[in-house]
Amino acid sequence: MEAELRRLQLELKQTMDMYNIACKEAITEKNKAKELNLWKLEKEYKLEEARLAEEMALKLVEKEKAKCKAATKEAEAAQRVAKLEAQRARIAEMEALKQSEAKKVSEAMTYDLRYRKYTIEELEAATNGFSQACKIGEGGYGPVYLGEIDHTRVAIKVLRPDAAQGRLQFQKEVEILSCIRHPNMVLLLGACPEYGCLVYEYMANGSLEDCLFRRCNKQVIPWQLRFRIAADICTGLLFLHQTKPEPLVHRDLKPGNILLDHNYVGKISDVGLARLVPQSGSDSVTQYCMTATAGTFCYIDPEYQQTGMLVTKSDVYSLGVILLQLITANPPMGLTLQVEKAIEMGNFAQILDPAVPDWPVEEALKFAKLGLLCAEMRRKDRPDLGKVVLPELNRLSELAQDSMNGIMRSSRGAGGVILPRQGQHPSLKLQVSIAT
């Protein structure tokens, strides 16, 4: 019995162990099934997430495609608009070019009515092919040649190809000189626009500068002629200032631009830098603001140089320096101070040009004081050209004429040189219209 009981106990124990093992295995399998289920759920979640992400990506792609398509359409539309604008611009440019060409033709036709148009062959024939033997001068614009056209001596100014402002000065000079005629303005006879050539009356005695400094064996100009030349310059300058519809300021008045004919009549030349200035609406002062000054140093109005404000009295300053040079034959640098000092020290006669032996010192002193007044630093201190300067210069010119008459009377029968008598100066009321 005991043995049977032990066997049963042993079998029970074995059964219980097997049961425990089976329970553990069942729990393990249950856990594994649970983990597998969780893994499956996680996989399904990830797959769903991937599917949703793919759908969103597809939607974004479609959206970007739509944007790209819209952008392409906009770009194509913009390109079409740009082409249309470019076409319109080309049409407008062509129209502007046509109008410009028509204007040039019209201007050329207008100029043709104002001056004679020469061919380059005519000018070459007149100057022996622009030979050096015919060259009589050189300026910033270009060389000047002596020629003969229609049995008349002429001066031909040629535009240098490298002259930056030469073409503009050429057009301005033709524009101005073809419109005006005055005994104290150099006469423009014609031009050759294609080659930038200007044909002027020939001025036998050259420039005032050459005569004052006695270059090229020039004869000494007597004081009588110097006084008369001063009145000539002032008369021509006032004529420019009285042009209509707007005053004309020379801007480069200097002895080199004053030419003398065979009778030593002074005439203003080189108006290529001249500027038409509008009348100020607030007062009677004519002024015009320039971005850059033009002219020759020592002759430029100090206020114009500092402010760029151009007025008719800018030319009066230049005239003042020229007047002082006429009686001293000195360079312009510091000339006003030299004359002022000579007057203050009481040795004014010593500063007069020694080449002239018979200066009327008292009248020359009045002449000098007028020059100093014109060359005042402030333009408001300068005298009026028509009311003050010209009347005084005309008075001095008449004095000079009386002196020349005496010389002429004493020279008759003695074989002396008789200076030509000049009539009264031309009317200052001449008015012209100049196209701007």
Averaged pLDDT for residues 222-245: 94
Who has greater pLDDT, 171 or 156?
156
Confidence category of residue 140, pLDDT binned at 50, 70, 90 = low
In angstroms, the CA 222 to CA 224 distance is 5
> What pLDDT is recorded for position 340?
97
Averaged pLDDT for residues 293-297: 62
Domain parsing of the chain, residue ranges = 120-201, 208-411
CB 322 within 8 A of CB 253: yes
> What pLDDT is recorded for position 433?
34
Q: Is the pLDDT of residue 337 over 90?
A: yes
252 labelled catalytic: yes
Sign of CA dihedral 316, 320, 322, 323: positive
> What pLDDT is recorded for position 407?
75
SS3 276: strand
CB 9 within 8 A of CB 17: no
> What pLDDT is recorded for position 243?
85
Alpha helices in 249-357 (DSSP H): 302-307, 313-328, 335-345
- Indicate the average pLDDT of the chain: 84
Q: Is the pLDDT of residue 295 over 80?
A: no
What percent of the chain clears pLDDT 90, i.e. is strictly above it? Answer: 44
> What pLDDT is recorded for position 342?
96
> What pLDDT is recorded for position 436?
31
What is the per-residue DSSP string for 35-89? HHHHHHHHHHHHHHHHHHHHHHHHHHHHHHHHHHHHHHHHHHHHHHHHHHHHHHH
Confidence category of residue 104, pLDDT binned at 50, 70, 90 = low
What percent of the chain clears pLDDT 70, i.e. is strictly above it? Answer: 84
Q: CATH assignment of 208-411, given 3.90.850.10, 3.30.420.40, 1.10.3720.10, 1.10.510.10? A: 1.10.510.10
Q: CATH assignment of 120-201, given 3.30.200.20, 3.30.565.10, 3.40.190.10, 1.10.1740.10? A: 3.30.200.20
Of 17, 112, 252, 402, which is the active-site residue? Answer: 252
Two domains, one topology: 120-201 and 208-411: no
**Cis peptide, bond prior to residue 255, ω within 30 of zero:** no
> What pLDDT is recorded for position 182?
92
Averaged pLDDT for residues 115-121: 88
